[in-house]
Structure 1
Amino acid sequence: MNRAKSLAVLMLSLNLSLMAEMKTAYLAGGCFWCTESDMEKVPGVTSVISGYSGGNVQNPTYKEVSSGTTGHVESIKIDYDSDKISYSQLLNSFLKKIDPTDGEGQFVDRGYQYSPVIFYQNKDEEVEAKKALNKIKEEGKFEEINVKLIPFEKFYIAEEYHQDYYKKHNLKYNYYRYRSGRDQFLEKIWGK
Structure 2
Amino acid sequence: MIRRILALVLVLGTAATGAAAQRIETALVAGGCFWCVESDFRRVEGVIDVSVGFAGGRTENPDYNAVTRGGTGHLEVAQISFDAEAVSYAQILHLFMRSIDPLDAGGQFCDRGESYTTAIFATPEQRAEAEAAIARASAELGQPVVTPVREIAAFWPADEYHQGYAYSSELVLTRFGPLTRSTAYGRYREACGRDARVREVWGEDAPFIRH
Normalising by structure 1, report the TM-score: 0.86
The answer (yes or no) to whether the contact 1:51–1:155 under 8 Å persists in 2 is yes
The match for 2:91 is: 89
Query: What one-letter code is carried by the residue in structure 2 that aligns with 1:108?
Result: C
**Greater relative contact order structure (CA < 8 Å, 6+ sep):** 1
Kindly state the Cα deviation for residue 143 of structure 1 after the two structures are TM-superposed.
Answer: 1.7
Query: What one-letter code is carried by the residue in structure 2 that aligns with 1:145?
Result: V
Matched residue count = 173
The match for 2:195 is: 183
In 2 relative to 1, CA 142–39 (structure 1 residues): closer, same or farther, beyond 3 Å? farther
The answer (yes or no) to whether the contact 1:103–1:148 under 8 Å persists in 2 is no
The match for 1:144 is: 144
The match for 2:16 is: none
The match for 2:106 is: 104
Larger CA Rg, structure 1 vs 2: 1
The match for 1:157 is: 157
Q: Distance in 2 between matches of 1:190 and 1:47?
A: 28
* Alpha-carbon displacement from aligned partner over 1:162-186 (angstroms, at most 9, x marks no partner): 0011111111101100011111112
The match for 1:128 is: 129
The match for 1:39 is: 41
Q: Distance in 1 between matches of 2:56 and 2:162?
A: 19
Unaligned stretches of 5+ residues in structure 2: 1-19, 169-180, 205-210
Give the root-mean-square deviation of aligned CA atoms: 1.3
3-state SS of 1:23 partner? strand
3-state SS of 1:18 partner? coil
Kindly state the Cα deviation for residue 68 of structure 1 after the two structures are TM-superposed.
Answer: 1.1
Q: Distance in 1 between matches of 2:91 and 2:133?
A: 8
Q: Distance in 2 between matches of 1:29 and 1:127?
A: 20
The structure whose residues are more often helix, as a share, is 1
* Alpha-carbon displacement from aligned partner over 1:54-79 (angstroms, at most 9, x marks no partner): 01101000000001110000001100
Query: What one-letter code is carried by the residue in structure 2 that aligns with 1:101?
Result: L
3-state SS of 2:25 partner? strand
Q: Distance in 2 between matches of 1:64 and 1:96?
A: 29
3-state SS of 2:21 partner? helix
Unaligned stretches of 5+ residues in structure 1: 1-16
Query: What one-letter code is carried by the residue in structure 1 that aligns with 2:56?
Result: G
Q: Distance in 2 between matches of 1:135 and 1:34?
A: 23
